[in-house]
Structure 1
């Protein structure tokens, strides 16, 4: 029987970056957007994608040191995700 663990929580932060507005997770920034509302909408889309459930998936993510990692996650193993202004 698989042990249940507390869900991981992620927060996308909206802020000024690279001449525009962007969202970040930790120290990793998205591409810049022309407006705060565009960046916020993109962060919410990214957050919704984190919540997709229904099948196992291979995920690709970048760690703080800039290296990319691939992991297998099970259908119900999704983080709680929020969006916040800086």
Structure 2
């Protein structure tokens, strides 16, 4: 399932939205669309494979390897 960047009207201008999170507000639709395309492209760039540690909701710590090439697919909705 791709991560979708939707360009929407927001705070008197336009923003892109992923889920329930909005970007900054842009004066023009084209500016928000360009920013959404840039953000979507950057999210697909792989990084380094590295070890990570995290604490779950029950307070237990876990360690695992995060694959830096495991990136989501993205799309931009105008």
Measured against the shorter chain, the TM-score band is 0.7 to 0.9
What is the match of residue 73 of structure 2? 80
The answer to whether 1:9 aligns with 2:6 is no
User: Structure 2: how far apart are the matches of 1:25 and 1:39?
Assistant: 13
| Cα drift, residue 54 of structure 1 | 4.5
What is the match of residue 35 of structure 1? 28
Please give the per-residue CA displacement for 1:46-69, whole angstroms capped at 9, x wherever unaligned.
001111125237xxxxxxxxxxxx
Q: Which runs of 5+ in 1 are unaligned?
A: 1-7, 58-71
The answer to whether 1:25 aligns with 2:8 is no
TM-score when normalising by structure 2: 0.73
TM-score when normalising by structure 1: 0.67
Deviating beyond 3 angstroms after TM superposition, the runs of 4 or more aligned structure 1 residues are none
RMSD: 1.7
Structure with greater Cα Rg: 2
Number of aligned residues: 64
